[in-house]
Amino acid sequence: MKKIFILSFIMLLAFSGCTLFQKGTTGSEGTAQPRQEVANQAFYGFPDIPVPKELTYVPEKSFVYENPAMRAGVMFLNGNVDVQSLENYFKINMAKNGWKYINSFRYKDVVLNYQKEDKTCNIKMSRGAFQTEVEIWVGPAEKAGQQKGNAPK
């Protein structure tokens, strides 16, 4: 009985190792969104929002709306990454790309809010049973003169 348990455990480790090595080659080759890569990060759909390479882009759930004045959308990603390390990654790399940290919410999930002169970005990180899911929402920001109560009459 002990030998069967040990043999099963070794086979489980072997299959897990094979899966980890294959993970680096699959990624998002078939996605419609062009991807730029820099060191250990990628950019999907938005050239100023870095994403760690450990996350996989989910094109079936993601979308980007674009017109001549702006680009907005939602990116869904997932991967086996610790939520705390993702939070640190985004806090460092969003600032490097010109985003201003506004605030964050922590409950069972973590939500980070950022702003630039003409757009906002909300990043939600959730730990699931087997992987971390990340939603990145990007949309236009309200201009100071267009806020309610300040609208021209």
Dist. CA 37–CA 48, nearest whole Å = 12
Q: Where are the domains of the chain?
A: 47-144
pLDDT value, residue 17: 46
pLDDT value, residue 4: 52
> Which residues lie across from 73 on neighbouring strands?
64, 138
Classify residue 26 as exposed, middle or buried by CB count within 10 Å of its CB (0-12, 13-18, 19+): exposed
pLDDT value, residue 75: 95
pLDDT value, residue 41: 67
pLDDT value, residue 44: 74
Of 39, 40, 25, 58, which is closest to residue 132 (Cα–Cα)? Answer: 58
pLDDT value, residue 46: 84
**Sites in the chain below the pLDDT cut of 50:** 5, 7-9, 11-37
The order of strands in the sheet holding 41-44 is 35-38, 41-44, 51-52
